[in-house]
Amino acid sequence: MFYSVKELIQSAKESRREAWELILMDDANERNVSQKESFEKMRYMWHSMKKSVESYDPNLVSPSGLSGKNGGKMEKYVKGDKNAVDSIDTSVKDIKETTQLSGNTGELKTGVKKTVARKSRTTGKKNLTVQNKGNIEYKEYVPENTVSDEDLKLFNDTRVDGTLPKDKYSPSEKVNMYDGELYNDFNYLQGDIYEKLDALEYEDISEEQKEIQRKKLNKVLPEKKTVKQISFNPTSDFIRELVVGQEEVTEHSYYSGEDRTVLRAVTLDKKYEDYVTNLTNSERNGVSVWDIRKFLDGAKINIDYHYSSYTLSETEKKKERDMQRAEYLTKLKNTVDKTFNDFVRNELTQEQRDKLEDSWNRNFNAVYNPDYKNMPLLIKGLNSEFYGKPLVLQNVQVEGINFLTNKGVGLLGFEVGVGKTLSGIISTVQNGQM
């Protein structure tokens, strides 16, 4: 299992194999299928994506009307047909404010009357003159926020960097101190919780305030995983760098000609190498200790190839070598994974297991992501109608808008038609209003 692209690339470099080959081996092992089956699945996925690209129809329009239609026009425009965008509306809008909005009820209220004067526009192309005049009543969209009035005030006073102004607030039940700055609960109770618990001990606040914040942090701290629940990657930097103790070793000094005893740090991977040396051949599944050590060090693995026939062509021989190599490396990886996880679960002392668990959780299980649907929508001036219909924001859109606004930057992985464009526009305007 690879926890990041960086780790995959590093593993490929160290083992001198292609990244796709490692993915193939890992997938076959994880799903308990042959590498041939795994490869056929990868081939099917590739053909499906290729077919999807080739069959794309720019004339198809998503349910929201945002994707497909204008995208098709833009595609024609980019290719050189500048007249393809002549029908896009470029009306001049005159907005006049008449009343002041207030409240947090989730209702649509009349707040602004907007006169839209669509001027006659001649494009130079026959039958494309647009003329339409009239008055429409503008109603502002008031989101249905579920937070308390006190929390809503804190959100409204939050600056674009997520902090609260110190001239208006001080640490309290709902205002938290972190790294010398003030934050509301939503912005404070997210990210690396272990790091915030450690930093809390050095904050210049009262012990009572520290206890208030500590309780809140512990409440959102991800549930700690034990050694038995974790599948460790023995070739990761985390394992190679984790010191689990010290040992006395004898070093010879070539200057004095004498031996001396010194203490040396023992990392988890080196302790595992000592353990695997004492395993029987059957416990190592027929894999040699040397190959296990080479695998851990990322060195090249030498394989004894055996051909099915002496009359094979060079192409057939290469095919058999590739298959044998892939099978042996899969066997080697499975053996290392199994014996290593058996080692950490059964051979380490309780103190070493506790240290391993704490370090792993701090590195890989420390982040808490809040529910962005619980963050109020703060945009002002949003029209209550969209494409002539009442604007209804789905939970996933509100979540995406608040995620982008809260972080100030981000990527929305929405499918076509879910509302990336609308969410992006609202979050950009809302962020600019903060």
In the prediction, which pLDDT does 173 show? 95
- β-strand partners of 386: 389
In the prediction, which pLDDT does 176 show? 96
In the prediction, which pLDDT does 78 show? 43
Mean pLDDT per 10-residue segment, the chain (434 residues): 74 79 80 80 78 70 55 45 42 36 39 38 37 56 84 90 92 95 94 95 95 96 93 90 81 76 84 91 92 90 88 90 92 93 92 93 93 87 84 88 83 84 87 79
In the prediction, which pLDDT does 138 show? 67
Q: What is the dihedral of CA 412, 414, 418, 420, to 10 degrees?
A: 30
